Amino acid sequence: MAEEEKASALVKELRESFNTGKTKKYEWRVSQLENILKMVEQREKDILSALHKDLSKPEQEAFISEVSLTKGSCTLALKELKHWMMPQKVKTSMTTFPSSAEIVSEPLGVVLVISTWNYPFMLSLDPVIGAIAAGNTVVLKPSEIAPATSSMLAKLLEEYTDNSAIRVVEGAVAETSALLEQKWDKIFYTGSGRIGRIVMSAAAKHLTPVILELGGKCPAVVDTDVDLQVAVRRIIAGKWACCNGQACIAPDYLITTKAFAAKLIDALILELKVFFGDNPMESKDISRIVNLYHFTRLSKLIDDYKVSDKIVLGGQRNENQLKIAPTILLDVPEDSLIMEEEIFGPILPILTCLSRASCPSPAYSFLTFILSLLIVLRCTCIDNIVENLEDSFAVINSRSKPLAAYLFTNNEELKKDFVKNISSGGMVINDTILHVTVSGLPFGGVGESGMGSYHGKFSFDAFSHKKAVLYRSFEGDSSTRFHHAIVRSQEGKN
């Protein structure tokens, strides 16, 4: 059967299943969530082994960020589901007196979850948990770039959950495009903005709402008054200890003052040794780059600075093992390629000089050398040295809105100004990435970093329609009289 026919038959089957009403029942939702929890507990070894195959993900990291977070989402949904499903009473108005009103959360129907490869287990199951909790039937399309996890998810969900309502479709562009041709009641997509646009335009044909969990360049501003060791550990934990920088909320670049940069870099180098030893290329505590495409892309970003003094740490790599060492660059120009695209890898530029002029790549001939020299003179920092960290706000705000923004400081005024003036999906003061673990906070982007959010109750809401219901009785007819009064006054005017 052609891809499109298969996709169409699948949606038809799941819609029929939804129409029986079984997925709306509290008991069905609970049983599926319990099965997923059981699956994660019983098959933990298989899950960790698939993540190791796909990304050499260290066991401890995989356990915390994939297994544990998924279990946490499931446990929370099981604990709170009854409460989430309860209609929410709201006040009524004089016009409707006597009456009562409530917001009823109803499932949307048949939903599609398209997932990505960096946290291929958790980022696939977390939205699926929300979709099931809200009473939908769901198709999951995991990422083909993490093939071991993709096929494991297909196998495990078939074994543990109700296949008449929960399905996995494996595949790449052809399979995803066929799925996107179908009419869904919601599409939840995690990945790049480029594909996000394809997803959104496919959804528009059917007026299907979308949640887009995208990426961006997440800045971290580091003040000079911080507990440096703690700050640096937290930056390393969010950057390299999370899939070696291949995380959507990893700090993408740091901004600090010119005077403080050397101290910050020394501290980073020292603590990186504590995390990954003297030779991080040999470390078992760091993920590899996912594939050759991304390895080459990241290598090019480093090679742009090969013959300059901008690489202050790292740069080592091994193509056969797809490994790149933690790499720190100092003062790359703000309009260079590395500052234009999301890095999504182990390279961390530090900016202390907000210069927009393109500094030259290494000179290859005498003529280009002279030319380069002239440009270097033009782009050395004279006026744009960061002395005051508020200067960084304009730089951050001149770019697309990031998925996360971080600030390390003890200065209360600076904290307030950062929260007030920086627009980002989420933010953390004095740490990185941990907002993702707080289920009471919505997780999602703004602007180019995405639309919509999930986690905890927000996941349930993401896959529910909030139906407005007004109850009246035949007692009292004040509003009818009110209505007639308006009509009569209109007639009087005419």
Site residues (CB under 6 A) for ligand NAD? 114-118, 123, 141, 143-145, 172-173, 176-177, 190-192, 195, 198, 213-215, 248, 342, 344, 403, 445, 450
> Whole-number minimum distance, CB 26 to ligand NAD, in Å?
29
Q: What is the spatial distance between Cα 260 and Cα 240, in angstroms, rounded to a whole number?
A: 22
> Whole-number minimum distance, CB 440 to ligand NAD, in Å?
18
Q: Is 248 part of the annotated catalytic residue set?
A: yes
- State the amino acid at position 83 in one-letter form: H
Of 354, 343, 337, 117, the residue nearest 251 (C-alpha)? 343
361: left (phi over 0), alpha (psi -120 to 50) or beta: beta
Q: What is the spatial distance between Cα 454 and Cα 396, in angstroms, rounded to a whole number?
A: 25
Nearer to ligand NAD, 141 or 239 (CB): 141
Q: What is the spatial distance between Cα 160 and Cα 132, in angstroms, rounded to a whole number?
A: 14
Nearer to ligand NAD, 187 or 261 (CB): 187
Nearer to ligand NAD, 169 or 414 (CB): 169
- State the amino acid at position 360 in one-letter form: P
Environment class of residue 462 by beta-carbon count within 10 Å: exposed (0-12), middle (13-18) or buried (19+)? Answer: buried
> Whole-number minimum distance, CB 438 to ligand NAD, in Å?
15
Residue whose tokens read 């990505």: 116
Q: What is the spatial distance between Cα 241 and Cα 243, in angstroms, rounded to a whole number?
A: 6
Q: What is the spatial distance between Cα 386 and Cα 392, in angstroms, rounded to a whole number?
A: 8
Per-residue tokens: 274:
């504590």
Yes or no: say if 347 and 298 are a contact pair by the CB < 8 Å rule: yes
- State the amino acid at position 117 in one-letter form: W
> Whole-number minimum distance, CB 361 to ligand NAD, in Å?
25
* Phi–psi pair at 381, nearest 5 degrees: -70, 115
Dihedral angle, C-alpha 275, 438, 220, 238, nearest 10 °: 20
Q: Which of 61, 66, 213, 448 is catalytic?
A: 213
> Whole-number minimum distance, CB 13 to ligand NAD, in Å?
22
> Whole-number minimum distance, CB 96 to ligand NAD, in Å?
41
Yes or no: say if 194 and 432 are a contact pair by the CB < 8 Å rule: no
Nearer to ligand NAD, 114 or 133 (CB): 114
Yes or no: say if 231 and 268 are a contact pair by the CB < 8 Å rule: no
Q: Is 158 part of the annotated catalytic residue set?
A: no
> Whole-number minimum distance, CB 379 to ligand NAD, in Å?
28
Bridge partners, 406 (sequence order): 220, 428
Bridge partners, 467 (sequence order): 104
Nearer to ligand NAD, 55 or 359 (CB): 55
Nearer to ligand NAD, 117 or 240 (CB): 117
Nearer to ligand NAD, 28 or 458 (CB): 458
* Phi–psi pair at 360, nearest 5 degrees: -75, 155
Give me the residue whose beta carbon is nearest to ligand NAD: 215
Residue whose tokens read 């979850």: 113
Q: Which of 218, 242, 248, 359 is catalytic?
A: 248
Largest CA distance in the chain: 94
CA distances to 358, 469, 486 from 478, in Å: 71, 19, 12
- Distance, first Cα to last Cα, the chain: 66
> Whole-number minimum distance, CB 64 to ligand NAD, in Å?
16
- Catalytic residue ranges: 213, 248
